[in-house]
Structures are given as structure tokens and as C-alpha cells.
A and B are shown apart, each in its own frame.
Chain A
């Protein structure tokens, strides 16, 4: 009898285990079903850029609904000034939100989630797809902006412009604060959600899965962030989140190398002062812009997009999912054509009342050609001011590097703040990033050899700890190589589709470390670390404010020395100044930024915030002659049109 009962129990348990496993596998197939969207780059690329999944899921959508309620301590900065949680951190508002009468729920998320948020079903890091929906960042969270007019109105979101309101590092700290809250539980989130959205029901199976996955997400992310505090420190909270003394990046800027050093090298990044404004991504076509980033460190736009997502927290696993790979490639292709085949509204279309006079523009072009075009090329004047002519990528120093450090070309450097290119580990990053993604077997073999060489080089340089570091990197690489046996789908350098002449050997010539020639022409190395900045075209210059790589010069008038560059100014939700071409950035009062909406004190005396250099034309704004002033005013007029 006992034997019979045991047999029955064993068979029943077996059946349950099999049904659960096979059922889950079937559901996984359903949740992860995806087919590549069809259409041209303008349509498919735009969708990927603004709504695509990139493995940057911030938190579950239901939590996004109630975050302000259940985690108000974590998200409150004390400078809200009546703004929503999203607005306080500078996310672009959803244009449909004002008309929304119903409560903000999961079902109408597309009407209230800020512009640039995607709704995905990828669990962060593992990229497992379930029925639990997440709110995730996309390219356009950072790379779409709005112009704030003096009357408080906002332009439509402009794809490709950096979001200069976005305080993304502050937001990250708030999220870390929120999920590390020991009182936050799946039940608390779901209970709060049920009160806000009582009419929304989840199916039985989806409800069970949702609850399990929500609990799993919370414990996983808490463990991960809690475990990372040795590398990231504890997050800031309250007013600290908006204080430059605590979080020095501020609105419209990131610390990209702090992030990439952490994720690619697993080293702390706190001693990294390489602040970078969120760059515009117009006209990224490689004919115009063969090297991406301010320092020209990257070649391929797809690699650039991959690194942007990776540095922002997307896992290697997530970045291998077909949908995300598609989005990375489609978004990169979109930025290549954005401003060329895909129109971007020029200055005169945004500010018709401030369109410069044709004669000034013509004179300005002459000044531009004398002082700027050698490095930036130029844009011919369009007959219709609401349109632009194609950029002319011709110039003596165009696409060349302007050095700032020991590797500077003999004819001098740019003189801008050098922290962006001289930070610790800068010269180790190319190999670390390159070996993050194993290539196909042939390329992976070379990656392994280069790691071996790095170990030997470090030993020869009497740097045993560095040798140990590379040994660990190699172990990590070998594990990843086993996971991506045919090569990671985004490994680089890779042959472009349809390029029959491309071979693995030719690719390896472009793999780091591959060149010490700062001005090799063409610079084919896929990823470099020169202590230099690259000269590139500057299409849509009016959308590039504040200027210089670190956003330390609020207006174009200040950049070209028509006006003095301010030592300190307040940043946040600044009004756009169409006259001076940039942001109205008020000075602090008694060393403080008292307007809660512009609470970040930008001090150019702080390390990494320097506003010197790029001194063209090299005239003193306090001692301009009438002729110089007239030239600079004309130059400013021309710059409004490009």
C-alpha cells in the first residue's frame, strides 16, 4: 500500500514538474515572440530610437505607477516645486498626459510615461522575457530634447538633440535608493497599484507570474545594487541629489567613463572627472563623421550605440537578444541619416522671429570660413531659411585630432578641459571594451592573444597588479566566449552586410590596440584612446548648447568670444535664448542657485568643468574692436543657420 502511494506521489510530482517546466517554456516562447519590423530607416529607426528596448529597463511598470507613493522618500529632492517625479529629473513630458482623465495605469502607460520610455518585458540584466512589463530607457530618453521658450512653452521633442534638462545620474541614484529600501516589497507595490488602478485585472497565470517575477526582480536588483556599493558607494538622497558637491554631473551631463570603467573593467570610477554633456546625434553618417565621440575614440556608429547602452547599464546578455540587436542597429542607422535624409527643423523654423538677416549670414560665412571651417567644414547658405543645404566636409584639419596631452600633435592642442581624455585607465579601456564582446572563433582567438600580451606587457612594465587585472579580464573573456560561441551579435569590428571584400584578417587590423598614430589618415582603428579631441562637422549648432564637451559654456555667443564665458551659472530647466544661441543661465546668488528649477551650480573652477580653450577666434571679449564685434555678430548669425 505504502509503495503504491509513493509511486502515485512520484508520478504526480513528476507530471507537475514536467507541466510546469514545459508550460513555462511555452510561455517564454509566447512572451519573447518578435519579428523584425519592416519599413524604411526613418520609420523603423525612429521607432527603435524612441520606443525600442535596449536592455535599460529601470523598473516594473506597475512600480513606475506608484513609485511616487511607495518610494517618495527615495525620489523626493526637495526642489520639486510642484513638478512631477519625472519632470524633476528632467524627462520630457508625454504630450498626451495633459488630456488624460483616467488614473495613470499600466494599460494607458503610452499616454503618461515620459517621452523616450519604452514598455518592454525584459527582466533587467538577465533579459528573460515574462509577462511582467518594465519601463525602460531608450536612446531618446537622453538624445531627444526640447527648447524652452521665454514664455514657458516647450517645443516638440527634437530627436537627436541632447536632453539638457535630464539629470540622469541623479535619477539613477534615486532608483538605487528606492529599490534598496528594505520596506519595499512586491506586495507593497501591488497593493498600492491595486488602489490606484482598481479596475485593472491581470489573468490568473499572468498574475502569479507577475508576483513571482516582481519579487524576484526586487530581490535580484537589491542584491546586485547592494553588492555593488563597494564600487558605486551609497546613493545620495534628498537635496544631495541636486547638489553639485555630491553629484557633480548635473542636468544634461553624464560621467560616461566613470560608468564604462565600472562596467567594462569592474573598477571604481569615483576618481573620474570626465564629465560629458549628452551629445547631439545628428548626421552621424561616417562620410561626414568618420569618428564618433568628442575624442573621436569610436569608429562604427553601431559600436558607438552598443557602448552607450552598455555603459548605461545594459547587460551583455540583453544586448545579444535579437530585438535589442535590431534596435541598436536601427537606431544607429537612424542617427546616420538624421538631419540628412531625415529632416531636422533648423533654427528659423523654431524661432522665425529671430531668423538672422541674409546679409549678416553671408558675412558670417566668411568669418566662419576664416576661423572655423578648417576644422569643421561648413554648410552652404540655404535659399530657404527653413531648410539646410548638405554639410560640406572639407577642411584642412577636419577629422583630425587636436591633442591635449603627451600625444598632442606638434602644432599644439585645443586647450579645453583635458579630464575627458586623460582619466585613469583611459589607455586600458579600448582593449577592455573590445574583449567585452567575443568575436567569431577566429577573432576571439586574436582577442585572447591580445589579452595574453596585455598580461606580459604589464609584467614587463613592472606592474604586477595590472597583470593580475588582465588575467581576470581574460578569465571573464573566456567565460563570455563560451556563452557566445559564434561571436556576440554586436562584436566589433565586424563586416558590414553585403561587403564581400571584408575578411577577418582585414578586421583585425582595425582591432585595438592597433595604432599609435593620432592622425593616421584614415584612422581605421575601431576604438582608440588618444589624449585628443576630434574635429568634426557641427550640424544644427544651435541645438548643441551648452557648448564644449562638458557643457561649460552656456551660449554660442560666449563660445566664440562675443561675450565673456561665465565662471559660475545655474543649470536645470533653462530657457533657450535665440539671440545668444544657447541657454539663459543665471549666475548664482551668494554662491547658491536658489531657483529650484535651476538648482544645479555649475562651477567652471571645479575639476572637469573647465571652460577654457577652443578659443576661436582668439579675441578678448572684453576688448573687442568694432570690427571684431561686427564679425562675431555675423558669425553668430551664420551659426544660427547651420
Chain B
């Protein structure tokens, strides 16, 4: 194992930022402006920000599954992972602020502890993970506890989206995006497994 501090950071290319920012911006604009055509703008936007976050995190999950413990993570992963969190934070602001009047306890009252708690936990843990990914030298080559942390976060984030979008499937859009995300994750696992098989 090489000394982490001596490994070069993965190469950064400007298009990684440009494309991930473009995806974020267009989804943000869609969620904000397309809501104007909907019967309930607040409701639409709250959900559209969640759908957008699910779409943004999907490439990050794909890259993570393909490369985790096999190859260094890339800036693609870090940027999509970050933008997805920003979008879910916007979803939180709309959901908690406008639909729950900034009263988190009402989310627990309405949804019950075991549904509400992971929502808030996700926001906090994901933010910590992103903070580490932008401050640690070993974000692309995690080792030790940090490696397990990253693995746990990927599972935790996917599980949250899967439960919210596929199990609860409150609307068609959620189900379609949730299934798409699940398909991408399964495909990533299959490709990873295939890659391993071939390398043996």
C-alpha cells in the first residue's frame, strides 16, 4: 500500500465540473420553473428537488460501485455526490420549511420515528461525508475506517432513496426514477463483478 500522502490526486478535468454543474443547474431550473405550470407549486418543487437529487446521485453511485476498493474514485464521483447533496438540502428547505412550517417534530409525528429519523440522519451524515471528501487527501483512495465509512454512506444513501422512491412510490415519477437508479446500481454491480471475474 502506497503512502496516501504521496499518491497524486486523480486528474481534474474542467468538463467534470462543467457537466456536473450543468446537470445540477438544469435540474434546479426545471424544478423551480416547471413548477409554475403545476397545480401546487410548493408540492411540485419539493418533490422535484428530491427527484433531481436522485438523478444526480445515480452517476455518483455508479462510479462508486465500479471503482470502490478497486480503483481511485474520480472527480466525477465527488462532484455528482456533492451536487446531489446540495439538491437534497434544497429539498429539505422546501419540505421542512414550506410544508412543515420549519417544525421538524411534525415530520416525526406524521411519518413516525423510523421513517423520519433516517431522513434527518441522511442530511447530517451525507454532509459530513462530503466535507471529508473535500478536505481529506485520501478521498479517492480511502483506507481504514474512512473506507468503511464511504462504503456505509453509499449504501445508506442508496437505501434511503430506494425506500423513499421505490418502496413508498408516492407518485409515478418517484417510482420511475427509483427504478432507474436501482437498475443503474445493479448494472454497476454486474459490471464490477464481471470485471473482477475477468481480472482473476
Residues of A within 8 A of B (CB): 3-4, 6-8, 10-11, 13-15, 17-18, 20-21, 24-25, 125-126, 128, 216, 220, 315, 317, 441, 482-483, 485-486
Q: Is the CB of B18 within 8 A of A216?
A: no
Q: Given A7-B18, A14-B18, A125 and B39 touching (CB < 8 A)?
A: yes
Q: Is the CB of A482 within 8 A of B170?
A: yes
Q: Is B135 on the interface with A (CB-CB < 8 A)?
A: no
Q: Is the CB of A126 within 8 A of B100?
A: no
Q: Is the CB of A216 within 8 A of B37?
A: yes
Other A-B pairs, 11, CB within 8 Å; known A14-B24, A17-B29, A21-B32:
A7-B14, A14-B18, A14-B22, A18-B25, A24-B33, A126-B40, A441-B109, A483-B40, A485-B100, A486-B106, A486-B110
The residues of A that contact B197 with a CB separation of less than 8 Å are none
Shortest Cβ distance from A478 into B: residue: B170
Shortest C-beta distance, B126 to chain A (Å), equals: 22
The residues of A that contact B42 with a CB separation of less than 8 Å are 483
A15, A17, A126 — which one has the most chain B CB atoms within 10 A of its CB?
Answer: A17
Q: Is the CB of A25 within 8 A of B43?
A: no
Q: Is the CB of B32 within 8 A of A10?
A: no
User: B87-122 CB contact bits vs A (8 Å, 1 = yes)?
Assistant: 000000000000111010010011000000000000
Q: Given A21-B28, A216-B36, A486-B100, A10 and B110 touching (CB < 8 A)?
A: no
Provide the bound-state CA to CA distance between A216 and B38, in Å. 12
Shortest C-beta distance, B7 to chain A (Å), equals: 26
B36, B39, B100 — which one has the most chain A CB atoms within 10 A of its CB?
Answer: B36
Q: Is the CB of A485 within 8 A of B99?
A: yes
Shortest Cβ distance from B16 into A: residue: A7
Top 7 closest pairs, chain A to chain B, by CB: A14-B25, A10-B18, A17-B29, A17-B25, A21-B32, A7-B18, A10-B22
A3, A14, A483 — which one has the most chain B CB atoms within 10 A of its CB?
Answer: A14
Q: Is B3 on the interface with A (CB-CB < 8 A)?
A: no
The residues of A that contact B132 with a CB separation of less than 8 Å are none
Q: Given A10-B22, A126-B39, A24 and B32 touching (CB < 8 A)?
A: yes
The residues of A that contact B25 with a CB separation of less than 8 Å are 13-15, 17-18, 21
Q: Is the CB of B28 within 8 A of A3?
A: no
Q: Is the CB of A482 within 8 A of B43?
A: yes
The residues of B that contact A17 with a CB separation of less than 8 Å are 25-26, 28-29
Shortest C-beta distance, A223 to chain B (Å), equals: 10
Provide the bound-state CA to CA distance between A309 and B28, in Å. 35
The residues of A that contact B32 with a CB separation of less than 8 Å are 21, 24-25
Q: Is B180 on the interface with A (CB-CB < 8 A)?
A: no
Contact residues, B11-35 vs A (CB, 8 A): 14-15, 17-19, 21-22, 24-26, 28-29, 31-33
Q: Given A3-B15, A482-B43, A486-B101, A126 and B36 touching (CB < 8 A)?
A: yes
Q: Is the CB of B21 within 8 A of A10?
A: yes
Provide the bound-state CA to CA distance between A24 and B29, in Å. 10
Shortest C-beta distance, A599 to chain B (Å), equals: 38
Provide the bound-state CA to CA distance between A126 and B170, in Å. 21
Provide the bound-state CA to CA distance between A3 and B24, in Å. 20
Shortest Cβ distance from B36 into A: residue: A128
The residues of B that contact A24 with a CB separation of less than 8 Å are 32-33
The residues of A that contact B40 with a CB separation of less than 8 Å are 126, 317, 483
Q: Is the CB of A315 within 8 A of B15?
A: no
Shortest Cβ distance from B43 into A: residue: A483
Shortest C-beta distance, A321 to chain B (Å), equals: 10
Shortest Cβ distance from B107 into A: residue: A485
The residues of B that contact A483 with a CB separation of less than 8 Å are 40, 42-43, 99
Q: Is B41 on the interface with A (CB-CB < 8 A)?
A: yes
Can you list 5 A-B contacts (CB < 8 A)?
A: A6-B15, A21-B25, A128-B41, A220-B37, A315-B39
Provide the bound-state CA to CA distance between A543 and B32, in Å. 50
The residues of A that contact B38 with a CB separation of less than 8 Å are 126
Residues of B within 8 A of A (CB): 14-15, 17-19, 21-22, 24-26, 28-29, 31-33, 36-43, 99-101, 103, 106, 109-110, 170
Q: Is the CB of A7 within 8 A of B15?
A: yes
Q: Is the CB of B100 within 8 A of A14?
A: no
Provide the bound-state CA to CA distance between A94 and B100, in Å. 42
The residues of A that contact B103 with a CB separation of less than 8 Å are 486
Shortest C-beta distance, B48 to chain A (Å), equals: 11
Q: Which residue of A13, A317, A441 contacts B22 across the interface (Cβ within 8 Å)?
A: A13
Q: Given A14-B24, A216-B36, A21 and B29 touching (CB < 8 A)?
A: yes
The residues of B that contact A3 with a CB separation of less than 8 Å are 15
Provide the bound-state CA to CA distance between A11 and B21, in Å. 7
Shortest Cβ distance from A442 into B: residue: B109
Provide the bound-state CA to CA distance between A485 and B108, in Å. 11
Q: Is the CB of A485 within 8 A of B18?
A: no
Q: Is the CB of B39 within 8 A of A317?
A: yes
The residues of A that contact B18 with a CB separation of less than 8 Å are 6-8, 10-11, 14
Q: Which residue of A25, A126, A315, A441 contacts B110 across the interface (Cβ within 8 Å)?
A: A441
Q: Is the CB of B14 within 8 A of A20?
A: no
Provide the bound-state CA to CA distance between A24 and B36, in Å. 11
Provide the bound-state CA to CA distance between A147 and B170, in Å. 55
Q: Is the CB of A21 within 8 A of B33?
A: yes
Q: Is the CB of B26 within 8 A of A485?
A: no
The residues of B that contact A126 with a CB separation of less than 8 Å are 36, 38-41
B21, B22, B39 — which one has the most chain A CB atoms within 10 A of its CB?
Answer: B22
The residues of A that contact B37 with a CB separation of less than 8 Å are 216, 220
The residues of A that contact B15 with a CB separation of less than 8 Å are 3, 6-7, 10
The residues of A that contact B100 with a CB separation of less than 8 Å are 485-486
Shortest C-beta distance, A474 to chain B (Å), equals: 15
Shortest C-beta distance, B113 to chain A (Å), equals: 14
The residues of B that contact A14 with a CB separation of less than 8 Å are 18, 21-22, 24-26
Provide the bound-state CA to CA distance between A21 and B34, in Å. 10
Shortest Cβ distance from A7 into B: residue: B18
The residues of B that contact A25 with a CB separation of less than 8 Å are 32
Q: Is the CB of B22 within 8 A of A20?
A: no
The residues of A that contact B170 with a CB separation of less than 8 Å are 482
Provide the bound-state CA to CA distance between A315 and B38, in Å. 13
The residues of A that contact B22 with a CB separation of less than 8 Å are 10-11, 13-14
Provide the bound-state CA to CA distance between A15 and B21, in Å. 9
Shortest Cβ distance from A484 into B: residue: B99
Provide the bound-state CA to CA distance between A469 and B187, in Å. 43
B24, B41, B101 — which one has the most chain A CB atoms within 10 A of its CB?
Answer: B41
The residues of B that contact A21 with a CB separation of less than 8 Å are 25, 28-29, 31-33
Q: Is the CB of A20 within 8 A of B101?
A: no
Provide the bound-state CA to CA distance between A483 and B25, in Å. 26
The residues of A that contact B28 with a CB separation of less than 8 Å are 17-18, 21
The residues of A that contact B24 with a CB separation of less than 8 Å are 14
Shortest Cβ distance from B14 into A: residue: A7
Shortest C-beta distance, B156 to chain A (Å), equals: 24
The residues of B that contact A8 with a CB separation of less than 8 Å are 18
Shortest C-beta distance, A323 to chain B (Å), equals: 15
Shortest C-beta distance, B148 to chain A (Å), equals: 35
Shortest Cβ distance from A18 into B: residue: B25
Shortest C-beta distance, A264 to chain B (Å), equals: 16
The residues of A that contact B31 with a CB separation of less than 8 Å are 21
Shortest C-beta distance, A228 to chain B (Å), equals: 14
Shortest Cβ distance from A4 into B: residue: B14
Q: Is the CB of B29 within 8 A of A485?
A: no
Provide the bound-state CA to CA distance between A13 and B36, in Å. 21
Provide the bound-state CA to CA distance between A482 and B111, in Å. 11
The residues of B that contact A485 with a CB separation of less than 8 Å are 99-100, 106, 110
Provide the bound-state CA to CA distance between A317 and B98, in Å. 13
